A and B are shown apart, each in its own frame.
Chain A
Amino acid sequence: MWADASVKFVNTFGALAGFAGVLLVLFYFGGRAKGRMSRRLAIVILLGPGLLLLVVGLAVPVVRTIYLSLFNDDSSKYLGAGNYTWALQNDDIHQVLLNTLLWIVVAPLVTTGLGLGLALLVDRLRGQAVYKSLIFLPMAISFVGASIIWKFVYDYRDPAQPQIGLLSQICIWLGWSHPPNWILSHPLNNFLLMVVMIWVQTGFAMVVLSAAIKAIPEDVTEAAVLDGARGWRLFAHVTIPMIRSTVIVVLTTVMITTLKLFDIIRTMTGGNFGTQVLANEMYSQAFVEFNVGRGSSLAVLLFLAVLPLVAYNIMLLRKEREVR
C-alpha cells in the first residue's frame, strides 16, 4: 500500500513539476522577446492557457448541455422540448422541485437571520473571538463530514433500547418516550436535513455581518441616538439600512450554495424518503440512469433558477466595488 501511495505522489508532484517547468520555459523565452513581439507573447502565454481552459471546460460545455437536453438518452433522437415537458409533468420531479424551492427559501432565511442575531449579540461580549471561531468552525468541515455528524445526532433506535443519537435521548429525557425515526420517516425530515446546511453556514453569515456592523460609521449611530433613536428603532432605522446590501449578499451566497446542494442529501438519505433535490436528481438521471438528455434538462432548469439570483448578487458586488 505504501508503494502504491508513493507512486501516486510521484505522479502528482511530477505533474506539478511538469506544469512549473512548462511555465518556466515559456517565461524564459517570452521574457527574451523584444518590443511589440514581447507584448503579444505576454498576452498569449499569460492569458492563453486560462482562456483556453475556460472555453473548453465551461463555455462550450454549457452550450452543449443545452443542446443535449433536446435529445433522448443517447443523443440519437431529437425530442425538442420533450425532456422539459417530462420534467414539468412528472410527479416525482414535482416533489424534487418543491423540495428545492423549500430549501432555497427556508435555509438561507434561517441562516442569515441566525447569523445577524449572533452578530448583534456577540460583538459586545468578552472573548468574542472564541465564540466566533467555534460557530464559524463548521465552515471548514465538508458537507459529507457534517452530514455524518448530524446523521449521528439523528440516529434512530427502538425507544426500548439505550439511545446513541443525542436528539432521541434528549426527547426521552424530556419525557417523550417514543421519539420517531427522525430522517427516515418523520414528516419534517426535510427541515431536519436543512439543519445541517444552517449549521455549516451560519458562522459565515455571522462573521460577514459582524464586520458590516462594525463598519457602520460611529457618527451615524451617534446622530441617530441624539435624535432620540433607541433600541429597536435604532436597529430598524439605522443598523439594518446601513448593512442592507451585505445582508442581501449573504442571503444570495447562501442561496446559491443551497441550490447546488448535493452532498448532504446524498450522504444522509440518498434522496429517499421524499428528500430528493434538483442537483441530486440531475446526477441520478445523468450518471446513474445514463439518461443524458433528462439529466441535461435538469441542469438547465437548475441554471435558470440560479441565474437571476447570482446575476443580482454580482451586480450588487460590482456596485459596491465601484463605490469604493
Chain B
Amino acid sequence: MTRQGTLARPTGVRRALSSPFATLAVLVMTLLWTLPTFGLLVTSLRPQSDVAQSGWWEVFVHPHFTLSNYHDVLFNGGFGVSDGLMPYLVNSLAITIPATVFPIALASMAAYVLAWVPFKGSDTIFFVFFALQVVPLQMALVPLLQLFSGGAHVGSATVFPALGLGGTYAPVWLAHTMFALPLAVFLLHNFIAQLPRDLIEAARVDGASHFRVFRSIVLPLATPALASFAIFQFLWVWNDLLVGLTFTGGTPEVAPMTARLAQLSGSFGDHWEILTAGAFVSVIIPLIVFFSLQRYFVRGLLAGSVKG
C-alpha cells in the first residue's frame, strides 16, 4: 500500500481543505458526536432529585454526584420493579459468550474443509453458505421458534422432536449460531484459503491427519482472523434485541439486558436516572471490548470492505 504523504506537501483537495475551517468542522462534529453519550454518563451520576429538575449541563454549576442510581438499577430496579438489571446482565453474559464461541468453532472447522479438503460438491456447499448471507434473519424467526417449541412433523411422523427448551439459553445460542454461520464461514474461508500451501502440504506428506493440520497449523495461523470475527460477533450478540426478544420471550430467567432496557424505556420514560444508569451499564462491556481490542476490530472491519 502506498501512503499518501500526509505530512509531506499537501496537494489538491487536501490543501484546499487544510484550513482552520477543516479543524473547526472536525472539532464541532466530534463534539456533537460525543455530547449525547457524555450527557448520558453525567445524568446517570446525578442524584434523582437533580435529574428530575434540571438538565445535565447544570452539573457544571452545581456539581453533585452519586452512585446510587447504579445501585438502584442493578439491584432494586426501582418503581415497583422487583428485580434490578443484575439478572439480565448475567443473562447477557451467559448468552453472549457461548453465542460467540460456538459459531467461530463451527465456522473455522467448516471453512478449513471448504478451503483445503476439496470434494465433490464442496463448491456447491460453499456457494450455499455464501448465498445465505442475503437472508435477513426475520425470514427464519417464525419457523425456528415453531421448530424449537413444537418440533417438526411430516404427517404423523416426527422428524424433529419438540426440544422443550423453553426458559433456557439454548434456543438463543442456537439461533445466534445459525445466523452467524454464513458470514463467519465466508470471512474465515477467505482467510484460511490464503494460508501458505507448502506448509499445509508438507504436514500432510509427513502423515498429519486433517484434524492435526487444522488444530496445530491452521488454528494458530488464523488467530487474528478468529479474534477479529470474535469481537464482531460478541458486540453483535451483546447488542442484539430481536433474536433475544424472540427466543426468550423477555423473561428475567433468560432475557438479555437489551430486552429489559427496551421494556424499561417504554414504561419508565420519565425516570431518567434509572434509564441512563441502565443504558450505561449495558454500554460498559462493549466499550471495554472495543477499546481493548480496537486494533483488531478496525482491521477486521477493513478486511471485509477495502482492498489493500
Contact = CB atoms under 8 A, between A and B. Distances in A.
Interface string B93-125: 110011001100111011011100101000001
A215 B11 contact: no
Contacts of A207: 298, 301-302
Interface stretch (A81-89, A94-102, A104-112, A145-153): A145-153
Contact of B16 (A145, A212, A230): A230
A142 interface: yes
Given A5-B87, A49-B109, A148-B265, A65 B43 contact: no
Interface in A15-72: 15-16, 19, 23, 27, 30-33, 38-39, 42-43, 45-47, 49-51, 53-54, 56-62, 64-65, 68
Contacts of B307: 215, 320-321, 323-324
Interface residues of B, number: 128
Contact of B114 (A47, A62, A310): A47
A306 to B, nearest CB: 5
Contact of A53 (B15, B168, B174): B174
B12 interface: yes
Contacts of B302: 207-208, 211
Interface residues of A, number: 136
Contact of A58 (B13, B90, B182, B209): B182
Contacts of A134: 30, 33-34
B217 to A, nearest CB: 13
B94 A9 contact: yes
B241 A27 contact: no
Interface in A217-263: 217-219, 221-222, 224-225, 229-232, 234-235, 238-239, 246, 249-250, 253, 259-260, 262-263
B128 interface: yes
Contact of B17 (A120, A150, A268, A286): A120
B141 interface: yes
B199 interface: no
A149 B110 contact: no
Contacts of A62: 135, 139-140
Nearest to B110: A50
Interface string A265-303: 011101000000001001100110000100110111011
| Leading 7 A-B pairs by shortest Cβ distance | A57-B178, A142-B239, A42-B210, A234-B12, A61-B143, A50-B110, A61-B140
13 contacts: A1-B87, A5-B87, A19-B105, A30-B211, A47-B125, A61-B140, A64-B143, A65-B139, A141-B283, A142-B282, A162-B55, A216-B4, A302-B136
Interface of B: 1-6, 10-18, 22-23, 25-26, 29-30, 33-37, 39-40, 43, 51-57, 86-87, 90-91, 93-94, 97-98, 101-102, 105-107, 109-110, 112-114, 117, 119, 125, 128-130, 132-144, 147, 160, 168-170, 173-175, 177-179, 181-182, 185, 190, 209-212, 214-215, 235, 238-242, 245-246, 258, 261-262, 265-266, 269, 272, 275-276, 278-279, 282-283, 286-287, 289-290, 294, 298, 301-302, 304-308
Given A131-B26, A166-B36, A270-B266, 12 more contacts: A5-B86, A47-B114, A58-B135, A59-B132, A141-B286, A144-B265, A148-B275, A164-B272, A169-B57, A239-B13, A302-B136, A306-B136
